Structure 1
Amino acid sequence: MLWWRQDDDERETDDEVEVRGRSVLVLISHYFPLLEVLDLSYPLHCYHGAVELSHLKKLRKVNFSGHSDINDKSLLHLFKSCKVLEEAIMLHCFDITFDGIAKALRERPTLRSLSFSKTNGPVKVRYESAYTTSHFISSLSLKCLASLDLLSSNISDELLSSIATERLPLTRLVLQYCIGIVQVLGICCNIRHLNLSKCSMVKLEMNFEVPKLEVLNLSYTNVDDEALYMISKSCCGLLKLSLENCNDFTKKGVNHVVENCTQLRKISLDGCHKVHANIVSSMVSSRPSLRQITAPPTRTGAFSARKVKYFLRQGCLVC
């Protein structure tokens, strides 16, 4: 594994940075031909250098996050050259488009993990046509893709439908900060990890079982008691549930989860102001599998030492 970072005290002109950056990539490419993991994320200065990695025939994982000058052309060249590439991380790469990724991925059908975003949050999302977003998935044949991260993207129903149609073998899906989501579950029967944190609009339609889902993050969403009931019935194998700063459900929804998710080990209720902290005692006693609870706000401050010790004797850490 190799990281490259520039020192803060270096003072160079833009041209010097460009030349040195390209030189570094040339050196990496020529002197580390067996390199498998390369992390060039969030440099102090950006430079056009992705095309210089063609000699890294063994490269399996690359991280170009924060390279605002990496574009569709350089990405295509990289994916063509690195034939055993399995994981690509390209968060906050503003000049890469969905269409560009689709073309690059057709050159690398063995990819197992893709992380991509354009922005730091939903406000600056660039809207692309339904055709483009749908084409992003429907044009692919990524039968090995197990992890997909579309942080801060504009997700359309067409894109989600395309994911379902392609029957990608996804076990991990991250749509954090995404907008425009209407339905999200049921697209992949093998999903184990789903992150919908801070999605501006989420509607869970789950009239089916999702038995393999183990980790679900719904923090900062509008999930309510009814949704939690549906989740508890459809995702009874949940191990971890994050509901931080969700203020549309009550103890009724929490009780649904505790009752039906018989393997639940961790749950976070931090910032859930409609749920009183006194629910924690009943949660611990009624669900022995619980090992950690992040409690909702309490008006009296932290739990007493005696109470905390009691929870620990039951095998559960309450914080």
Structure 2
Amino acid sequence: MNLPEECWESICKIIDEDDYRFLESVSLVSTSFLSITNRVRSTLIITDRTVPFLHRYLLRFPKLKRIRFYDMHKDIDSVLLQLSLSGLDLESLDLSGMPYFPDFGKFGMEKMMSNVKELNCSRASDLQESDLVSIGVCFPSLQELDISYPDSHQSSVFDSGIISLSSNLKGLLKINVSGNNLITDKSLLSLSQNCVLLREIIFRDCDFISSHCIESVLRNSRNLVSVAINGIGWRPRESFSDDAFVYARCLSELDLSGSFLSDELLRLIGDAKFPLKKLLLPNCVSLTFDGILNVLSKYQTLVHLNLEGSSFLSDEMIVELLKFLGHLIYVNLSFCAKLTGLAFFNIIEACVSIKSMRMEGTNFGVEEYSKELNTKSGIKTLYISGSHNLSDKCLEKISRHCPFVETLDVAQCPGVTTDGILEVLRNCGELTSLNISGCSGISCLGAVDFELPKLESLRACGTSIDDESLHMISKRCRGLLHLDLEGCLNVRSRGVKEVVQSCMRLREINLNYCEADGGIFIWMVCANPSLRKIVPPCGFSPTRKLKNFLLRHGCVLYQTSFDLLSIAYHPNRRDGDNIE
């Protein structure tokens, strides 16, 4: 189409925000599109393999805003020096899981970091007090900081580091200090007093934080909209005053995971009358139906509810709770072992806005539910893995009542067979992601006689699917991006070749424990230039020559499926985007 360049640039920006990797295909259309995609790309993931070519990437993508380090073992300081010399105006820097914390004070890197608003240092090895001081000095514009769960045998973060940090970062809006188990009330009090704009605070697994401190934080930080803490109520004689929560007038998200929650504490939360939208109470002890009923009756505009692990809940109790949950968009009832499909169908009937549900590890499938719903549910994502009683009949009914589902996870459901999955594929035309891993009843998908143009991700680990199934996939699922076949012992090279040759958008494939020939990989990258990540069969040892050949074609061999899938599905997602 003959559109102005500004229009194409706007379109490419939307693609970049959703998944920047799709810009690669656009860039191949013409030199004009190549120039546009180079200008709009905002995210770069740096690994050991990209370091030798980093200077080229920095010249090619002058508008980078987000940098993420992943699986880096080389000199991080030298890479940061290149970034500082590039003149980039960075807004986000992700150093999570790095083997050491870099020295930002070296080489004048302060200028590059002066406009960074988001810094993720979670799981960083050997995080020290001096590192927190350096963060406070080198990142004056920081708004979001994650220093959770430092990877060290003994935590080296104490109150003095948090106090120094808070005194320098007056504009901080969000902080995650979870897993720093030596910090005390002093740290949180300094944050609440110095960072008056603070809107979100996460402090899970901080053992020395008292209920008195939590009250003080809620009282001091009047702008707080989100609080996440676990393990409250376990200390002897620990209690909250009657007005503990009344000062948190802006609180809309509350996460009390793994806490000892009495009915009295839930009454205090209910009486506080926050503008609460999200409530997370997973794996809590002493939780009762009366306590949940009381708090939900006070917050009838909740859109997000997590009651995972509340094993006392029954179908009848869910029906009673639904009187107050008419606005629900997301609910997690996983590992509520007494729940059956009755709870599911009542939820999708009562909650017309529901978009996402998790009911993993429940008794889904044992119910007798003959009622037909008058309307179709608009639910988009459904996770019901580990439902050992789930049958084809029940799955077919779900697919009829939820035809708009896009993500479906029925992994580890031994009662599901090929017939049930075929009904899902036939009824759910919007399906983009399907997980059937561990479904021992699924042997072949070759009977599919209709197109599945929207299916992008298929995980079939440990199933009995074979080359005939892969032939079907190659013909019906041409838009496939991710294919996980780990443990599919009946898969041979012939089936793999058909998929690779026909699914031209395929980027990642896992062949661990398959019977594919190790000599197939050169052919794969030549036949399909979109391939970026391959997990070879177990025991295959690639030569350096093969690795280099694949790298020249933009593809990497990974030895484990964890490496393959760890950043595959959400390349633009920043850790901690959600309270959960």
CA positional deviation for 1:266: 2.7
1:211 aligns with 2:326: yes
Letter in 2 for 1:182: T
Q: 1:47 aligns with which of 153, 157, 170?
A: 157
Distance 2:193 2:95 in 1: 23
For these two proteins, the number of residue pairs brought into alignment is: 302
2:354 to 222, 238, 246: 238
Counterparts in 2 of 1:170-249, with a 5 A limit? 170-183=276-289, 184=292, 185-202=296-313, 204=318, 205-206=320-321, 208-225=323-340, 227-228=343-344, 231-232=347-348, 234-247=350-363
* In structure 2, distance between residues paired with 1:307 and 1:117: 41
Q: Distance in 1 between matches of 2:309 and 2:372?
A: 21
Distance in structure 2 (CA, Å) of the matches to 1:103 and 1:209: 31
SS at match of 2:145: strand
Q: Give, in whole Å, the separation in 2 of the partners of 1:156 and 1:215.
A: 24
Q: Which has the larger radius of gyration?
A: 2
Residues in 2 aligned to 1:154 and 1:82: alpha-carbon distance in whole angstroms = 29
1:126 alignment partner, one of 231, 234, 238: 234
Seen in structure 2, the aligned counterparts of structure 1 residues 77 and 243 have a Cα distance that, compared at 3 Å, is same
2:224–2:251 CA contact under 8 A, matched in 1: yes
Instruction: Give 2:400's aligned residue.
Output: 285
> Could you tell which deviates more after superposition, 178-187 or 260-269?
260-269
140 and 315 in structure 1: CA distance in 2 versus 1, 3 angstrom threshold: same
Paired residue type of 2:366: T
Q: Which runs of 5+ in 2 are unaligned?
A: 1-91, 102-125, 436-580
In 2: Cα distance, 1:51 partner to 1:59 partner: 13
Write out aligned runs for 1:86-101 (5 A): 86-101=199-214
Cα displacement (A) at 1:250: 2.7
Within a 5 Å distance, the mapping from 1:1-319 to structure 2 comes to: 1=92, 8=99, 21-43=128-150, 44=152, 45-48=155-158, 49-53=161-165, 54-118=167-231, 126-127=234-235, 129=237, 132=239, 134-135=240-241, 138-183=244-289, 184=292, 185-202=296-313, 204=318, 205-206=320-321, 208-225=323-340, 227-228=343-344, 231-232=347-348, 234-247=350-363, 250-252=366-368, 262-295=377-410, 297-299=413-415, 301-302=417-418, 309-311=425-427, 314-316=429-431, 318-319=434-435
Q: In 1, distance between residues paired with 2:253 and 2:242?
A: 15
State the alpha-carbon separation in 2 of the partners of residues 76 and 127 from structure 1.
20
Equivalent-residue separation in structure 1 for 2:410 and 2:373 (angstroms):
14
3-state SS, counterpart of residue 30 of structure 1: helix
Question: 2: CA distance between counterparts of 1:259 and 1:196?
Answer: 28
Is the contact made by 2:163 and 2:187 (CA closer than 8 Å) also made in structure 1?
yes
Q: Distance in 2 between matches of 1:261 and 1:167?
A: 34
**1:141–1:230 Cα change, 3 Å:** farther
Change (3 A) 1:50 1:258: farther
| Higher RCO structure (Cα 8 Å, ≥6 apart) | 1
Task: Say whether the 8 Å CA contact 2:364–2:389 is kept in structure 1.
Answer: yes
Specify the alignment match of 2:50 in structure 1: none
Q: Say which is worse superposed, 196-205 or 256-265, in terms of deviation.
A: 256-265
Q: 1:27 to 1:264 in 2, by over 3 A?
A: closer
Q: How has the CA–CA distance of structure 1 residues 170 and 281 changed in structure 2, closer, same or farther, with 3 Å as cutoff? A: same
* Residues 5, 24 of structure 1: alpha-carbon distance in 2 compared, 3 angstrom cutoff: farther
Give me the TM-score of the superposition, normalised by structure 1. 0.80
Secondary structure of residue in 2 paired with 1:176: coil
Task: Report sequence identity in percent.
Answer: 26
**Per-residue CA shift, 1:2-30, capped at 9, x if unaligned?**
666796489xxxxxxxx982222222223
* Matched residue SS, 2:400: helix
Question: Is contact 2:334-2:359 (8 Å) kept?
Answer: yes
* TM-align CA RMSD: 3.3
By how many angstroms is 1:153 displaced?
A: 0.8
SS of structure 2 residue aligned to 1:159: helix
Residues of 2 paired with 1:68 and 1:82: CA distance? 21
Of 24-33 and 146-155, deviating more is 24-33
Deviations 1:140-159 (A, max 9, x none): 41111111111111111112
Find the aligned partners of 2:136 and 2:335 in 1 and give their Cα distance.
Answer: 43
CA distance 1:289–1:149, shift in 2 (3 Å): same
Cα deviation, residue 82, structure 1? 0.5
- Runs of at least 5 residues in structure 1 that lack an aligned partner in the other structure: 11-18, 120-124
AA paired with 1:282?
A: K
Q: Equivalents in 2 of 1:127, 1:257: separation in Å?
A: 49
TM-score between both structures, scaled by the size of structure 2 = 0.46
Structure 1 stretch 271-280 or stretch 105-114: which is displaced more?
271-280
**Alpha-carbon deviations, 1:168-222, whole Å to 9, x = none?**
1111111111122223233412211111112354454426242211111000013
